[in-house]
Amino acid sequence: MKKILVPIDGSDCSKKALLKARELGKAFDSHITILTIIDSIRYLDMDFKFDAVRDGIDLSKQLLVSALEDFKDYPGEVETIYKTGDVAEEIIDVAEEGNFDLIVMGSRGLGIFSRTILGSVSHKVIQHSKTTVMVVKDCGHQEE
């Protein structure tokens, strides 16, 4: 397992996925790529699309810088990238184009339906990716 892809969105689940990827990466001496995607679908009908996408890029960059803090003493190589597009499709494309061995992602993200058992993005990635996918659960959203 030489290459691990970790898509993040700032949610508790993606944070746990990031930490799990770090743990696996240390055990297998893996190269880790942290990915965040600006969901362009969300901005299709906006009059101020340019500003919204620019703000999304700024937020993505901040998210990636923050994620790198968890890898300060990581012994392997870590890189960050951001893309714009359909979130699930971009994850699948990056994984295939980069010949990743594993995608580690959270079961739910920051989307409107984040309380579903398995988020629509993780479900789509599992169903359509040729790359092995590890879904990290227990994201701190349990009902009391």
Residue spans of the domains in the chain: they are 3-136
CA–CA gap between residue 137 and residue 13 (Å, rounded): 7
| Contact status, residue 98 vs residue 70, Cβ threshold 8 Å | no
| Contact status, residue 39 vs residue 89, Cβ threshold 8 Å | no
Share of the chain above pLDDT 90, in %: 56
CATH superfamily of 3-136: HUPs (3.40.50.620)
Q: Considering the chain, what is the average pLDDT of its residues?
A: 83
Q: What is the pLDDT of residues 10-65, one digit of tens each?
A: 888 899 999 999 999 999 999 999 999 987 655 555 555 556 556 667 788 889 99
The predicted structure's pLDDT at residue 112: 42
The predicted structure's pLDDT at residue 61: 85
